[in-house]
Amino acid sequence: MQLSSWFECQANGFFPYPANGAWDKVFAYTFSPDLKATFNDTRYNYDGWLQLYHNFNITLGKNFAPFMHGFINTLAVPNANGDKGGLVYSIGWEGGTHALLKKDLYFTDAAFAVVQDVGGQRKVVEFRESSNIPNTTPIPTPNEWTCSFT
């Protein structure tokens, strides 16, 4: 499967809103345990990112009925060595009918992912997400990243 198609399928699966079902199973399959992720100006490791997405799941379900999202454009640049990794850039939209305001509201979402071949499977090892959706989600305490060299 092409890297761009793989990313869009994974993002459709792990996008955290209640009607998406078992998004957390796709989350676990997609993201590396060594993940470094950002949402706007916050930084997280895998556990912090998972907590943030659990929080998003609750507030998106309360604020939008139904919540929807889609892709405007996805650019994937596979690694030159031919493995399953590469870089992915994506611009999309999100929103729906706001439950309190009773009107349709849509916002822009952007993501950047570094994908690596981990044991023969594609895994996102770095994920940066930005959105201009109004945020009522309780933000977990960010995790400071450490720098290590081997």
pLDDT for position 121 = 93
pLDDT for position 143 = 85
What fold, for 3-131?
Answer: Nuclear Transport Factor 2; Chain: A, (3.10.450)
d(CA 82, CA 111): 23
pLDDT for position 39 = 95
**What are the strands of the beta sheet with 121-131, ordered from one edge?**
42-44, 31-39, 121-131, 103-118, 86-98, 64-78
Read off the pLDDT of residues 26-61 as tens digits, 9 standing for 90 and up: 999 999 999 999 999 999 999 999 999 999 999 999
pLDDT for position 93 = 98
pLDDT for position 81 = 93
Tokens of 145: 């990243």
Is residue 135's pLDDT more than 90? no
Mean per-residue pLDDT for 125-132?
97
Q: Terminus-to-terminus CA distance in the chain, angstroms?
A: 32
d(CA 68, CA 48): 24
> What integer best gives the mean pLDDT of the chain?
93
